[in-house]
Amino acid sequence: MSKINKVYDRRTAVSVVIANMIGTGVFTSLGFQLLDIHSAPVILLLWFVGGVSALCGALCYSELSAALPRSGGEYNFIGSIYHPGLGFVSGWISATVGFAAPTALVAITSATYLNTVNPDIPITMFATLMVILISLFHLFNRSSSSTFQVIFTGLKVALIFLFIVCALLFTEQYQNLRWTPNFTDLSFISEGSFAIALIYVSYAYTGWNAATYLAGEVEDVQKEMPRVLVTGTLVVGLLYILLHFVFLTVAPMSAMAGKLEIGHVVASYAFGEQGGRWFSVMLSVLLISTASAMILSGPRTLQVIGQDFPLLSFLARENKWGIPQRAILFQLSLTIALIATASFEAILMFSGFALGLNTLATVMGVWYLRKTKPDLERPFRMPWYPWPMLIFVVLMLWTLAYVIVERPAEGLLAIGLVVVGWCFYLVSSKRENQK
């Protein structure tokens, strides 16, 4: 690849990681968790475990990105390690739910927060308009899109830090909570509710791998990608734990249980109703960076698929700025369809399970690649191998197993998506062989 295409520096890549991670999950999922778990230490443990899992995954992806430096994320990794067909299925998952579904959730969340300020704002219409405008922005200029990403990500992180500090300073009465675990907490951890809640947490951490979708466009990717993934994951993990400490300290659990707009609820307790409205507006605006990061990253997977499969070559075509416009428009279409037809919780659980399968196969690829290609150049080798890989695999298998038991509809739908992707690959391959 020519040097001119490698235009994203470390700052932009870290911004993409942070922006992808800090989105809907951290400002919405606590409400679902509190329906079954009523222990502050267990809630914080959830977010700590999720952070450890994400960091372990980031270390695994760092090794793979350095060894297999090409855009496409899991599609590139799985296709290169196992089989092109499995890579296609992985790309199929990324294309259909990996970015389109989270983008839809971000847009819905942004619209919901604005709706709490003004109930006359139509959630579906606003969410649709939001993703259309951001997609149009990324269609025409790569350099300005990079600057846009860095600025909005910085503003969002600054807002979160400001919220954490001000909420603790201005709250007149903290919640009387027990922060040390006891034997009762063990029942929450041993039950399926903890594993189900971990799906919500895992979804909130989803995005630590986002920069790998731009690997072919990152400067000095083999050196920079490990730094990008680990830095982004550590920053977000710290923010998440601090945020949930603040959420639980400021607002009663009963007020947050079952609510989607957690940020609005907490801000209202900390700053009053008017302060809650202002926070909702600011958060809604800054969620634009999350949607932007997904719209920037996702089409690169579609582009790489188009490069490898002639039947989908139209997705690989670029405009004069080197931007895959058709891939962006294809992802936009899927996002709009999800916004119009599916509920928030159903999209989250379904996409969380499907993405879990994708990352699980990728992380296990570290072991498989070391076994099958021990002499492959690895500019970065994960420390403490194989423990980061084993920790991630065990946590993910445990979580996915409980989802199948507790939420079989969403789990089976995700498995069905895999089957459909494999069938599409077989048909595509057969047509190419007949030519």
Which residue's structure tokens are 């997705």? 315
Of 291, 300, 297, nearest to 327 by C-alpha is 300
pLDDT at 373: 93
pLDDT at 215: 56
Categorize the per-residue pLDDT at 435 as very low, low, confident or very high, splitting at 50, 70 and 90. Answer: low
What are the contacts of 284-288 at 24+ separation with CB within 8 A?
A: 284/110, 284/111, 284/113, 284/114, 285/110, 286/152, 286/155, 286/156, 286/159, 287/23, 287/24, 287/106, 287/109, 287/110, 287/113, 287/156, 288/110, 288/130, 288/134, 288/152
Q: How far is CA 412 from the centre of its chain?
A: 21
Mean pLDDT of 131-149: 73
- On whether the CB atoms of residues 45 and 66 are closer than 8 A, the answer is no
**Residues 98, 100, 105, 111: what is their CA dihedral angle, to the nearest 10 degrees?**
160
pLDDT at 148: 65
pLDDT at 370: 94
Mean pLDDT of 130-159: 75
Domain count, the chain: 1
pLDDT at 386: 93
Q: Is the pLDDT of residue 191 over 90?
A: no
Residue type, 336: I
Domain with 318, as residue range(s), is 3-434
Q: Is the pLDDT of residue 250 over 80?
A: yes
Q: How far, in Å, CA of 369 to CA of 78, rounded? A: 10
Mean pLDDT of 378-387: 88
Q: How far, in Å, CA of 278 to CA of 188, rounded? A: 35
Residue type, 405: V
The CATH number assigned to the domain holding 186 equals 1.20.1740.10
pLDDT at 269: 92
**Residues 182, 186, 189, 191: what is their CA dihedral angle, to the nearest 10 degrees?**
-140
Q: How far is CA 240 from the centre of its chain?
A: 14
The highest-confidence range among 113-117, 141-145, 224-228, 360-364, by mean pLDDT, is: 360-364
Mean pLDDT of 242-253: 93
Read off the pTM: 0.79
Sign of CA dihedral 135, 137, 138, 140: positive
Mean pLDDT of 344-366: 86
* Cα 390–Cα 391–Cα 392 angle in degrees, nearest 5: 90
Query: Which tens digit of pLDDT belongs to each residue from 253-276?
Result: 999 988 878 888 999 999 988 888
List 8's β-bridge partners, or say none: 218
- On whether the CB atoms of residues 188 and 182 are closer than 8 A, the answer is no
Element (H, E) at 97: none
Categorize the per-residue pLDDT at 76 as very low, low, confident or very high, splitting at 50, 70 and 90. Answer: confident
pLDDT at 3: 41
User: What is the full DSSP assignment across 347-402?
Assistant: HHHHHHHHHHHHHHHHHHHHHHHHHH-TTS--S---TTTTHHHHHHHHHHHHHHHH
pLDDT at 394: 93
pLDDT at 336: 92
Of 422, 429, 312, 423, nearest to 357 by C-alpha is 422
Q: How far, in Å, CA of 55 to CA of 61, rounded? A: 10
What are the contacts of 386-389 at 24+ separation with CB within 8 A?
A: 387/56, 388/55, 388/56, 388/57, 388/59, 388/60, 389/56, 389/60, 389/363, 389/364
- Please, what is the average pLDDT of the chain? 82
Residue type, 276: G
Which residue's structure tokens are 């946590």? 395
Q: How far, in Å, CA of 93 to CA of 180, rounded? A: 40
pLDDT at 2: 39
Query: Which tens digit of pLDDT belongs to each residue from 392-434?
Result: 999 999 888 888 888 888 888 888 988 988 888 888 777 766 6
Categorize the per-residue pLDDT at 219 as very low, low, confident or very high, splitting at 50, 70 and 90. Answer: low
Mean pLDDT of 363-378: 93
Mean pLDDT of 295-322: 75
434-to-201, 305, 307, 311, 428 alpha-carbon distances in Å: 46, 20, 19, 12, 10
Categorize the per-residue pLDDT at 388 as very low, low, confident or very high, splitting at 50, 70 and 90. Answer: very high
pLDDT at 144: 57
* Of 34 and 73, the one with more pLDDT: 34
Q: Is the pLDDT of residue 29 over 80?
A: yes
369-to-67, 81, 377 alpha-carbon distances in Å: 10, 6, 11
- Terminal Cα-to-Cα distance of the chain (whole angstroms): 29
pLDDT at 4: 39
- On whether the CB atoms of residues 407 and 349 are closer than 8 A, the answer is yes
Q: How far, in Å, CA of 218 to CA of 191, rounded? A: 43
- On whether the CB atoms of residues 57 and 210 are closer than 8 A, the answer is no
Q: How far, in Å, CA of 31 to CA of 251, rounded? A: 12
